[in-house]
Structure 1
């Protein structure tokens, strides 16, 4: 399927991007250098499991160059696409650069926390992050709605995990950091949900099967490349009640709100997502 032929009308994408940026003014952003008193970070107040969770999410967040490259590859802003597609992709780029900046802030803040709190020495941490950071990342989709449906689930699952972890830690600096990151992830989810909803309203049943395929084959980032990922993921799930399929409930809400006249294929998709959540 030709991705260029399946993109949203540009006015629909502009509505989603403008809405996100209006809700995310730069004046409300936070930065690593001034948002926290890093001298108060103290890993001695964390359990071993909580330390492990911080290390795990740092690796996930630090893979940002790979995630960003996926959007550049599938939504290029150069002469490899026609003019109309370029205009669409250039509008999306306004979102992706803001999203990437915020995600990179998460990666830097988590690394700073590890160093300041005593979890990891900075040079050793850089080397550890590079091991995973140099591995490739891809989302092998052939319909543009799939990139947004995937990110919808991933961003919501990440938000929920940060909230769960915050609720069990007794360390104010880390709790504050997790709160900030969860709020960012919630806004990223809202953008993805808006775009997925617009695809369903514009494309109707044509968007159903691609979304179903995302859920049928869903894997969180790095699950196929990080050594020992599943064992580590299960360990951190015990620390803070982690289950990415919790996010499926929010996808169902997006599906239910997206269309006024539901079709058989739409209803089948909702049932399928519900079954995936129940089985998990």
Structure 2
């Protein structure tokens, strides 16, 4: 049987602050199968981005295990991680001293296994794939709009053709029109390339438009996992506040059948 792309088993994430241990995740379990687009949501400090760092191998579990494509994420090494996992950081994290094309080509250049001309050709293909005009290739990051920065960063994340793509707040800082265009691009690439995608986002429109599954992090573990409709009926305080408040009700109009939660969900909520 094919292993899941991501398998997190009984994860403990622990940080040391001011002489004491702070537990972020406790016995957290999560499986992500090939081809899914899973969105991770949770309150501030719930450890959403920490989970992405665990999948990248940048953080080591205090207990439990995190596997990517059947291998411990922490043991993939620099080159192994680059070929298996692409990462789109919240603000793009482009190198300010490099042109757009050089930013995209960076990971391939680091391998030192291909001639530079071929590397630049591959980088140009990725640039076009994310909808950037070839004239953007030699621009500097400071000359780009917010939407162009996101696209260039996405091209860089895809340069090694990784089967797993991680997205940290992919539409943060974009105006509504640019956010809609970027969501459409992500949806298209997810389907056309057969990517498995893990996304952290607090944006309800992005969440409901793109997700094939939503995983909610609260109380140090996953408290709900499923489709938007399945998650939104779970009687957890964070879920009520996040999905069923005024913003959540507006965003739920994106669903084919907008959810009308039972009145019992609000029975213990103070007015």
Structure (1/2) with the larger helix percentage: 1
Relative to the length of structure 1, the TM-score reads 0.31
Relative to the length of structure 2, the TM-score reads 0.32
